[in-house]
Amino acid sequence: MSLKFHWFLPTNGGDGRHVVGGGHGVNPGQSGRPADVSYLTQVARAAEDNGFEAALTPTGAWCEDAWVTTAMLAQTSARLKFLVAFRPGLVAPYLAAQMATTFQNLTDGRLLLNVVTGGESHEQRMFGDYHDKDARYERCGEFLDIVRRLWAGETVDYEGKHLSVDAARLGFLPAKLPEIYFGGSSPAAGKVAAEHADVYLTWGEPPQAVAEKIAWIRELAAAEGRGPDHRPIRFGIRMHVITRDTAEEAWAEADRLLSEIDPETVRKVQEGLRRSESEGQRRMLDLHDGRTDDLEVYPNVWAGVGLVRGGAGTALVGSHEEVADRIQEYAELGLDEFVLSAYPHLEGAYWFGEGVLPILAERGLWKHDGPQRQYGSAVPFASVGR
């Protein structure tokens, strides 16, 4: 077994030594480090040097455009792939297939696609999309039908409920098909994931809840004729991470982050997030229900991030050994990929890359596929990113 680890590009207002909000209608505000090409390049290079496979780049009104940002960073990094989040329906399927093909071919295969249907109707309307949630998932299925057929080199005539194309054929095909990452906790999401996802992503819940999701998607995928011998589906999880040499140091950092969160800010953010149409967001909120104490919802799984951040709201917290233990526990459930982030993202890539990944490598759970540098202490330089 060789697990895959992905990092995150903080294009949602920048980065800093505190929890940066964003997602699901939450205004992230400004942080200490702007999301400019110079800083994001540092994060990308730190990720690839430490052995991360790719970097998730978010989508929405609250962050920079993922396509433009990653196209720039592909020129300032060497090997890192980009897990580009995008919303079908805001871009025509032919254009999206063409864009992805161009990106894939001009970067020598460094594109992965995170398909996001959009969880908030009010934000979708900002982009001119007036479909409701169920219609967005229906449209997403049609979109992926068309895109996959175009990538296969077909001439596509398609008349769907939401999308249509006539004699569509790509002039160039991707040298390697971009893999599709897809998440969602509603029945409508499960249907699309079972049919189209190469990797099903869940936000970080306790292991029992994650195991139930994996079983649910596997059953749906089997009904679509997918299994170990035919288009097998893989599973991943999206979490934050606070890892240090000792558990005491890690929990002290979690406490510091929590101490910087104003109670009134928590109240306002939670009020906004409760209006979310996302089933996954509801599940994140239910882990803490707005409280600011007793936030360890499972050993080394902390729900504090979700107090002021939409979307992924849990973090792995502990010593490097403890974080490696939790990752191994999740892997034994059937998870293959981990999409992680930290505050700040630059130093966090080193904390995890120098502290946790070597432990997982010793256990035979991970292998560094790129050129490796020799490191000393697992503690990053204090001056990094200042």
In the chain, the percentage of residues whose pLDDT exceeds 70 is 93
55 burial via Cβ count (<10 Å: 0-12, 13-18, 19+) = buried
**CA distance readout (Å), 227 to 94, 190, 306:** 29, 16, 34
For residues 345 and 10, give the distance between their C-alpha atoms in angstroms, rounded to a whole number: 7
| Rounded average pLDDT over 68-81 | 97
| pLDDT surpasses 80 at 379 | no
For residues 332 and 207, give the distance between their C-alpha atoms in angstroms, rounded to a whole number: 10
| pLDDT surpasses 90 at 275 | no
**Considering Cα of 270, then 274, then 278, then 281, what sign does the dihedral take?**
positive
pLDDT band at 341; cut points 50, 70, 90: very high
Per-residue 3-state assignment (H helix, E strand, C coil) for 81-93: EEEEEECCCCCCH
pLDDT band at 373; cut points 50, 70, 90: low
| Rounded average pLDDT over 350-363 | 98
Please, what's the b/e burial string for 339-378 (b: 16 or more CB within 10 A of its CB; e: otherwise)? bbbbbbbbbbbbbbbbbbbbbbeeeebbebeeeeeeeeeb
Q: What pLDDT score was predicted for residue 27?
A: 55
Residues 6+ apart with CB under 8 A from 109: 81, 175, 176
pLDDT band at 382; cut points 50, 70, 90: very low
Q: What pLDDT score was predicted for residue 37?
A: 96
Q: Considering only 46-60, 158-172, 240-254, 288-302, which range has the smallest mean pLDDT?
A: 288-302
Is the peptide bond preceding residue 88 cis, with omega within 30 degrees of 0?
A: no
| pLDDT surpasses 60 at 277 | yes
Q: What pLDDT score was predicted for residue 28?
A: 52
Number of neighbouring beta carbons within 10 Å of residue 182: 24
More confident residue, 300 or 22: 300
Number of neighbouring beta carbons within 10 Å of residue 198: 16
The two beta strands, 199-203 and 234-238, are: parallel
For residues 35 and 29, give the distance between their C-alpha atoms in angstroms, rounded to a whole number: 12
| pLDDT surpasses 80 at 13 | no
Q: What pLDDT score was predicted for residue 22?
A: 67
pLDDT band at 24; cut points 50, 70, 90: low
Place of tokens 């882990």: 287
Q: Which strand (E) or helix (H) includes residue 333? A: helix 320-333
| Rounded average pLDDT over 321-332 | 98
| Rounded average pLDDT over 345-368 | 97
pLDDT band at 383; cut points 50, 70, 90: very low
* Phi, psi (deg, nearest 5) at residue 354: -90, -25
For residues 15 and 41, give the distance between their C-alpha atoms in angstroms, rounded to a whole number: 13
Q: Which pLDDT tens digit goes with each residue over 92-122?
A: 999 999 999 999 999 999 999 999 998 788 7
Domains annotated on the chain, with CATH: 4-247+320-362 (3.20.20.30)
* Phi, psi (deg, nearest 5) at residue 267: -60, -45
Question: Do the beta carbons of residue 93 and residue 146 sit within 8 Å?
Answer: yes
| Rounded average pLDDT over 74-91 | 95
Residues 6+ apart with CB under 8 A from 282: 276
